[in-house]
Amino acid sequence: MGQITLQGVQKSFGPVHIIKGADLDIADGSFVVFVGPSGCGKTTLLRLIAGLEDVSGGKILIDGRNVVDTPPAKRGLSMVFQSYALYPHMSVRGNIGFGLKMAGLPKDEINRKVEAAASTLNLTPYLDRKPRELSGGQRQRVAIGRAIVREPKAFLFDEPLSNLDAALRVQMRIEVTRLQKQLGTTAIYVTHDQVEAMTMADKIVVLNSGKIEQYGSPLELYERPANLFVAGFIGSPKMNFVTGEHAKQQGAATIGVRPEHLKIERDGGGGWQGTIAVAEHLGSDTFLYVDAGPLGMLTARYIGELSLHAGDRVSLLPDSARIHRFDESGNALRR
Amino acid sequence: MATRQTQLLARSLLTPAVGLLFIWMIVPLALTLYFSTLHYSLLDPGSESFVGLENFRYFLTDPAFLASLRNTLVLVGSVLALTILLGIPLALLMDQPVIGRNFVRLMVIAPFFVMPTVSALVWKNLLMHPVSGLFAWLAQLFHLTPIDWFNDVPLFAVILIVTWQWLPFATLILLTALQSLDEEQKEAAEMDGASAVSTFIYITLPHLARPITVVILIETIFLLTVFAEIFVTTGGGPGLQTTNIAFLIYSQALIQFDVGSASAGGLVAVVIANIVAFFLVRIVGRNLEA
């Protein structure tokens, strides 16, 4: 079991409030991603759950038990660190088995569990190597092995893939997701990469300057962002925001349209008109950055190849069903 | 150094420096070698004559040689052990966030900047003096008989002084190593359920293996040649109890005025230093491999 509940969790370092009261309910077996810009407190929140930092207020319940005064090792969680934090002088076997050794398990049981974990992660041939003799991806897997071997209530991942190159990151992303589904263990995963968040999560927590902006499934966040921040943070390229006259017509202070929901037409009048400043041709997609005069810069995305170039005049027609409306304080207006 | 021209240029520019260093080293060594084969007494100038290996035989069969060799090894070994055993806890303490940490660090490092002669004088006259020393006063406070350090336990007294001088060095090296220990590793150990003691044994101590090696190697080089502390405090005595190899060579040359056998002793000391270095590198040197 690994059901984690946060109730009004606060953290301040001196006068600086890092976490300003977080309430969250994480169901057993779910994969929850904390995402947000740097400095938003997502790593701090993870460390509070881990017990590496003490809370300044509020409760953290693991399976219904308040653990704010429980030391990290007793919370039954295991963590994968950004730097992997492998013990450099121990072999892979020693690294994975260290937690079990500290728990005082008999040697043959440790060996059995370490070998089982290693075979799950394809690390068996490397068991007697030192961390420095492994590649980045293998080290990453050792760090994960160290986490799974203790059969924790939940895994905590602190930006574990940020030190890998792009290709390996995609591969490890899939491996981590598959492993989590296979083990059925609750996982909390911190990242600043919204693509990782969207692809891996059952539910995403969007954090901004110590506040939870929205908590929901990836598509919920994409389709119904609660406010301007979430709307701008989720989705790539960023959502276009338009204020002023066009927004007023829709009864909102700001309206937002995602680049993929703008229909592109060659200068036909109607819609929002502008000149292409930059056109990016990726083959699979075409991104147009359009200077729309009073509306500012707009981004439009076309699936497939579109032979338009910088300097061409275009008109952009927003899909009226997929316009997001926000009030003065930035909160979403529902239809 | 890609082309032949730049290689040639580099070599010709380096030659003077390398040559000078070579001469700097080889001339004294050659002279010492030469003197070690002479009967050469300062009391009897002009009577120098070639005596072959007679000086070596004389130096090595002198009963003072074995005693001073033993003293040298005891001194080096004890100071190494004490500086490391005391240096590790001191470094661990200084790694903790305390008020006035920078000042504490400065104070701990200070003894390293005191000249050996000065510190030996302070220890001899202000601390260990059997009548007016601080230790004697403390002993009397508890109605104990003051220890006459340089008569009762002369070698131990010298070891204490030298340890006091080298403890800051060991502490400093170990402290910098502690500061480079990855914080996340300690946290990982904490998550793994390691107690403070286990973290020290399994994480901190292996991390310190390399700096400990560095401390051992560097201190050994200097401790083999401890001289001022002995000269100022005990003068090698009582008897031969605090005479080490360096002091023995000094007494051959400038107390007995026998340059020939002092030179032979100097060469013997070089050989001993090399033997010690050989074993040290074999024992602890593998810690230095990356």
Please state, rounded to an integer, the average pLDDT across all residues of chain A: 89
Residue in chain A closest to B193 (alpha carbons) equals: A73
Residue A213 near residue A206 (C-beta atoms within 8 A)? yes
- How far apart are alpha carbons A66 and A37 in whole angstroms? 29
Pairwise CA distance, residues A318 & B37, whole Å: 102
d(C-alpha B170, C-alpha B87), whole Å: 6
The nearest alpha carbon in chain B to A146 belongs to: B192
Say what the pLDDT of residue A72 is.
Answer: 87
A219, burial (CB in 10 Å: exposed 0-12, middle 13-18, buried 19+) = exposed
ipTM: 0.80
Amino acid at A25: D
Strand partners, A206: A35, A214
Amino acid at A323: I
Find tokens 């399994």 and name the residue. B202
Cβ distance A146 to B188 less than 8 Å, yes or no, reads yes
CB contact under 8 A, A98 and B189: yes
Alpha-carbon torsion (B183, B184, B187, B192), positive or negative: negative
SS3 call for A13: strand
What are residue A277's phi and psi, to 5 degrees? -85, -45
CB B198 within 8 A of CB A103: no
Which among A78, A82, A83 is the nearest to B191, CB-wise?
A78
Pair B88, B96: CB distance under 8 Å: no
Could you tell me the domains of chain A?
Answer: 4-232 (3.40.50.300), 238-333 (2.40.50.140)
CB-CB neighbors (< 8 A) of B198 in chain A: 102
* Subunit contact A87:B190, Cβ cutoff 8 A: no
Question: Which residues is A34 bridged to in the sheet?
Answer: A190, A205
How much of chain B, in percent, has pLDDT values that exceed 70? Answer: 99
The pLDDT value recorded for residue B16 is: 93
For residue A292, the SS3 value is: coil
Contacts of A89 in chain B (CB under 8 A): 206-207, 209
Phi and psi at residue A33, to the nearest 5°:
-110, 130
Taking any CB pair shorter than 8 Å as contact, residues of chain A touching chain B are 50, 52, 71-74, 77-79, 81-83, 85-90, 98-99, 102-103, 146, 150
Q: For residue A273, what are the β-bridge partners? A: A315
Question: Cα torsion for B205, A116, A175, A49, to the nearest 10°?
Answer: -50
Q: pLDDT for A59-88, tens place per residue?
A: 899 988 898 888 888 888 999 998 888 998
Of chain A, the end-to-end C-alpha distance in Å amounts to 39
**If you measure CA to CA, which chain B residue comes closest to A96?**
B192
A181 in helix, strand or coil?
A: helix
Which residue numbers in chain B have pLDDT < 70? 1-2, 289-290
Q: For residue B145, what is the DSSP state?
A: P
Q: How far apart are the first and last CA of chain B?
A: 27
Residues B185, A72: C-beta atoms closer than 8 Å: no
pLDDT in tens, B84-117: 999 999 888 888 887 777 888 888 888 888 888 8
CA distance A83 to A140: 9
Is the bond into B146 cis (omega within 30 degrees of 0)?
no
pLDDT in tens, A88-143: 889 999 999 998 888 888 999 999 999 988 888 888 899 899 998 888 888 988 99
pLDDT for position B289: 66
Task: Give the distance from CA B224 to its chain's centroid.
Answer: 5
**pLDDT band at residue A335, thresholds of 50, 70 and 90?**
low
At A147-178, the pLDDT tens digits run 989 888 999 999 888 888 888 888 888 989 99
CA-based radius of gyration for chain B: 24
Which one, of B245, B243, B222, B249, lies nearest residue B231 by Cα? B243
Stretch (H or E) spanning A42: helix A42-50
Distance, in Å, from the CA atom of B85 to the CA atom of A212, rounded to the nearest integer, reads: 50
Compute how many other C-beta atoms are within 10 angstroms of the C-beta atom of residue A57: 13
Sign of CA dihedral B67, B72, B75, B77: negative
Residue type, B114: V
Q: What is the pLDDT of residue B290?
A: 53
Strands (E), A27-80: 31-35, 57-62, 65-66, 77-80
Nearest residue of chain B to residue A88 (CA atoms):
B207
In whole angstroms, give the CA distance from residue A335 to residue A224: 11
> Tens digit of pLDDT for each residue in A211-241?
899 999 999 999 999 999 999 998 888 999 9
Q: Is B24 helix (H, G, I), strand (E, B) or coil?
A: helix
Q: What is the C-alpha to C-alpha distance for residues B163 and A267, in angstroms, rounded to an integer? A: 87
Q: Across the interface, which of A83, A88, A102 has its CB nearest the CB of B192?
A: A102
Would you place residue A278 in the very low, low, confident or very high pLDDT band (cuts 50, 70, 90)?
A: very high
Is the model's pTM score more than 0.80?
no
CA torsion B121-B122-B127-B130 (nearest 10°) is 30
pLDDT over threshold 90, residue A271: no
Judged by CB atoms closer than 8 Å, whether chains meet at A72 and B190 is answered as yes
